[in-house]
Structure 1
Amino acid sequence: MQVSCAFPTSLSSPDDIALAEELGYDRAWVYDTPQQSPDVWMTLALAAERTTRIGLGPGVLVPSLRHPMVNAAGTATLAALAPGRVAVSFGTGFTGRRAMGYGAITWRFMDAYIRTYRALLRGEVVEWEGARMRMMHPDGHSPARPIDVPVLIGALGPKGDAVARELGDGLYATLQTPEFMTEYSWVAYLAWGTVLDDAEPAGSDRIRAAGGPGWALAYHGAYEFGGPDAVRGLPGGDAWMDAVERTPERERHLAVHSGHCVELNDADRAAWDAGGHVLLDQATISGTRDGVRRTLDDLAARGVTEIVYQPCGPDPRRELERFLDAARTAAPA
Structure 2
Amino acid sequence: MRAGVVVAAHPGVEDLAVRAEELGLHSFWVYDTPMVHGDPFVTLSLCAKATRRIRLGIGATSPALRSAPASASGFASLNALAPGRIICGVGTGNTARRTLGMRPFTAAALEDFVASLQDLCAGRSTEYREGDQVRDVRFLHSGAHVNTTDPIEFVVAALGPKAAAVAGRRSAGLVSFGLLDPTAWRALHAARRDAAPASAPGHSRSYVITALHVLRDDEEHDSDAAREATGHLVLSLLDFAADTPAFATRLGHAEQEAVRLLLERRGTSATAPDRHTRLYPGYLGRIAPQDRDLVLPGLMERVALVGTRDDLRTRIAALEQAGVDELIVQPVIDPPAEMARFAELLDWMESSSAPDSRTASARWAQPERNESSQP
Give unmatched runs, 5+ long, in structure 2.
Answer: 194-202, 355-375
Query: Percent of pairs identical after alignment?
Result: 30
Q: Which amino acid aligns with 1:153?
A: V
Residues 1-333 of structure 1 mapped to structure 2, 5 A cutoff? 1-129=1-129, 130-143=134-147, 145-176=148-179, 177-178=184-185, 179-181=187-189, 183=193, 185-224=204-243, 226-230=246-250, 233-235=252-254, 237-245=256-264, 246-247=267-268, 249-264=272-287, 269-270=290-291, 272-273=292-293, 276-277=296-297, 279-313=299-333, 315-330=334-349
Larger deviation, residues 64-73 vs 315-324: 315-324
Between the aligned partners of 1:265 and 1:103, the Cα distance in structure 2 is 27
Instruction: Tell whether the 8 Å contact from 1:153 to 1:168 is kept in structure 2 after alignment.
Output: no
Between the aligned partners of 2:277 and 2:160, the Cα distance in structure 1 is 27
Between the aligned partners of 1:206 and 1:155, the Cα distance in structure 2 is 30
Q: Which amino acid aligns with 2:254?
A: P
Instruction: Tell whether the 8 Å contact from 1:293 to 1:329 is kept in structure 2 after alignment.
Output: no
Between the aligned partners of 1:251 and 1:193, the Cα distance in structure 2 is 32
Partner SS, residue 60 of structure 1: strand
Residue 265 of structure 1, CA deviation: 6.1
Residue 234 of structure 1, CA deviation: 5.0
Between the aligned partners of 1:23 and 1:328, the Cα distance in structure 2 is 10
Residues 50 and 4 of structure 1: CA distance in aligned 2, closer, same or farther (over 3 Å): same
Question: 1:247-274 deviations in whole A, cap 9, x for unaligned?
Answer: 15112223332322112269xx44x326
Between the aligned partners of 1:120 and 1:71, the Cα distance in structure 2 is 10
Instruction: Tell whether the 8 Å contact from 2:90 to 2:157 is kept in structure 1 after alignment.
Output: yes
Residues 286 and 275 of structure 1: CA distance in aligned 2, closer, same or farther (over 3 Å): closer
Instruction: Tell whether the 8 Å contact from 2:221 to 2:306 is kept in structure 1 after alignment.
Output: no
Residue 73 of structure 1, CA deviation: 1.0
Q: Which amino acid aligns with 1:77?
A: S
| Runs of 4+ with >6 A deviation | none
Residue 122 of structure 1, CA deviation: 2.7
Instruction: Tell whether the 8 Å contact from 2:7 to 2:330 is kept in structure 1 after alignment.
Output: yes
Residue 47 of structure 1, CA deviation: 0.3
Residue 219 of structure 1, CA deviation: 1.9
Q: Which amino acid aligns with 1:235?
A: A
Q: Which amino acid aligns with 2:115?
A: R
Q: Which amino acid aligns with 2:32?
A: D
- In the superposition, the TM-score normalised over structure 2's length comes to 0.80
Question: 1:1-42 deviations in whole A, cap 9, x for unaligned?
Answer: 211111122333211111111111111111101111111001
Question: 1:53-101 deviations in whole A, cap 9, x for unaligned?
Answer: 1111111112210111111111111111111211211111221111111
The alignment yields a C-alpha RMSD, in angstroms, of: 2.4
Partner SS, residue 319 of structure 2: helix
Between the aligned partners of 2:240 and 2:53, the Cα distance in structure 1 is 34
Residue 133 of structure 1, CA deviation: 1.9
Give unmatched runs, 5+ long, in structure 1.
Answer: none
Residues 305 and 243 of structure 1: CA distance in aligned 2, closer, same or farther (over 3 Å): closer
Residue 239 of structure 1, CA deviation: 4.2
Partner SS, residue 4 of structure 1: strand
Instruction: Tell whether the 8 Å contact from 2:83 to 2:150 is kept in structure 1 after alignment.
Output: no
Partner SS, residue 37 of structure 1: coil
- In the superposition, the TM-score normalised over structure 1's length comes to 0.89
Residue 153 of structure 1, CA deviation: 0.7
Instruction: Tell whether the 8 Å contact from 1:191 to 1:310 is kept in structure 2 after alignment.
Output: yes
Residue 126 of structure 1, CA deviation: 2.3
Between the aligned partners of 2:213 and 2:337, the Cα distance in structure 1 is 10
Q: Which amino acid aligns with 2:166?
A: V
Between the aligned partners of 2:253 and 2:344, the Cα distance in structure 1 is 32
How many correspondences in the alignment? Answer: 327
